[in-house]
Amino acid sequence: MKGMAFTLEERQILGIHGLIPPRFKTQDEQLELCSISVERYQEDLNKYIYLMSLQDRNEKLFYRLLSENVEKLMPIVYTPTVGLACQKFGLIYRRPRGLFITIYDKGHIYDILRNWPEADVRAIVVTDGERILGLGDLGSYGMGIPVGKLALYTALAGIKPHQCLPITLDVGTNNEELLKDPLYIGLRQKRVTGKEYDDFIDEFMEAVVKRYGQNTLIQFEDFGNHNAFLFLDKYRNQYCTFNDDIQGTASVAVAGLLATLKITKKRLSDQTILFQGAGETLEEAVEKLKPTILIGAAAVGGAFTPKILQMMGKFSERPVIFALSNPTNKAECTAEDAYINTDGKCIFASGSPFPPVEYKGKTYIPGQGNNSYIFPGVALGVICTGIHHISEKVFLIAAEALSSLVTDEELKEGRLYPNLNKITDCSLHIATRIAEYAYETGCASTYPEPKDKQAFIKSQLYNYEYSSAVPPVYKWPNN
């Protein structure tokens, strides 16, 4: 729907003249109204609800608004607000968006997929809701994650929305609060595990290929750690699949590390890197190993204590602190904690956004190592070139491509990644590099090979502008 952007001719032909106000608006005018409307809400969850409603009633306007206001709106549409939206999903659920497939649909998953009205699906984001961000088992409430991820596929990489399908596989939940929640929308039972669960996932993968073809990209999202690694290893050479929590996080971290080398003027091999796990041995490990780079992605909020950060400041002239866990309350430390406890020496990046920090007369702008820099561009490159299996090399190429786009000015500000408002350019650059690699190595299946890879990819992007709702009138030329 175009709302008041329908012309008089369109209104008359479509039979909607008089059903909407007589004012004629341009999309730019509608966009301005949407920006004002978002700002009216004080709470981020209400902003999220408004934006989801806009997506339902005017898809093109929603994606244009998001693509042109990434830095402001991505924290609403995705992390950190999407975490709260998932927790409140039973309350804010309005209309179907994506497919819910339950363990009781086993044996009929292909039939469920056929119920989805779009036949040309190129990308699926699927979760079973067991490990939503750092919030744990949210069961069917986890649907907000695939919906949000695929919104970013379109807004940040121009992948056509009708080609995207969010799916939640509901096998139950072990979250006692949800099992007692009268608003809970999923199966009210403990999680199914073991062979029955594994067979269910196998059937799902086979059904996707049967329904949409072997080149359909399947992105696994927020599965429990054991299953996430298990399925990546099991399916990566059978299907076109990747796991963003594993590979996307690693890729964006590598991109950040490569960017730090431009600041420290050192080689990566000269660094001592410590990854924080889920245990309690961290302070002792830091003291013993004296790392120059500390990375956290285990969703243990506050794990980088002031003492640990102070030690990091003593071990290195420019310690690197990556607090990558989401949502914000699961971050290993805040940007302010990192800068203050290292006396402004650290190079900092986080998964969730933090505001600029004023310290000793200097303003530090934290880098946000968000996977959104990586997965939309990877998906675009894979879809356009028809890559069958996604190797680790693809994510290394994405990391190198992203790090090459950070400017000297951004590095001086403290950023390790390009400004978020340039993320659509990052996605196109990453997709182009992946396309070049795909044709160089013969893993592309889209032929003939395009001479200009970037132009080829651009030609397939989603158009945010309105098209005419009036069918063209063809006239035969006079003889």
Task: Show which residues are catalytic.
Answer: 78, 149
DSSP state of 248: I
CA nearest to 240, candidates 254, 220, 225, 226 = 220
Nearest to 124 by CA among 112, 134, 135: 112
The HSE-up count of residue 85 (CA atoms within 13 Å, CB side) is 26
User: Cα separations (Å) of 106 from 135, 170, 198?
Assistant: 28, 11, 11
Peptide bond into 80 cis (omega under 30): yes
Say which residues have a Cβ less than 8 Å from residue 204's Cβ, sequence separation at least 6: 101, 109, 126, 169
Smallest CA-to-CA distance from 432 within 411, 405, 407 is with 405
Is 326 among the annotated ligand-binding positions?
A: yes
Q: Tell me the two tokens of residue 339.
A: 């800068």
Q: Residue 466 and residue 27: Cα distance in Å, rounded? A: 8
> Is 131 annotated as belonging to a binding site?
yes
User: Nearest-CA neighbor of 290 among 273, 265, 269?
Assistant: 273
- What per-residue string of b and e applies to 176-193 under the rule 16 or more CB within 10 Å gives b? eebbebeebbbbebebbe
Q: Is 245 annotated as a binding residue?
A: yes
* Joined tokens for residue 19: 């059903």
**Residue 222 assigned to a binding site:** yes
Q: What are phi and psi of 136, to 5 degrees?
A: 90, -155
End-to-end CA distance of the chain: 40
Contact indicator for 356, 363 with CB cutoff of 8 Å? yes
294 three-class SS: strand
Please give the single-letter amino acid code of residue 147. Answer: V
- Identify the three-state secondary structure at position 242: strand
Structure tokens that stand for 433 in this block: 């590099």
Q: Facing residues of 359 across strands?
A: 362
Q: List binding-site positions for a divalent metal cation.
A: 221-222, 245
Q: List binding-site positions for (S)-malate.
A: 131, 326, 370
Q: List binding-site positions.
A: 131, 221-222, 245, 326, 370
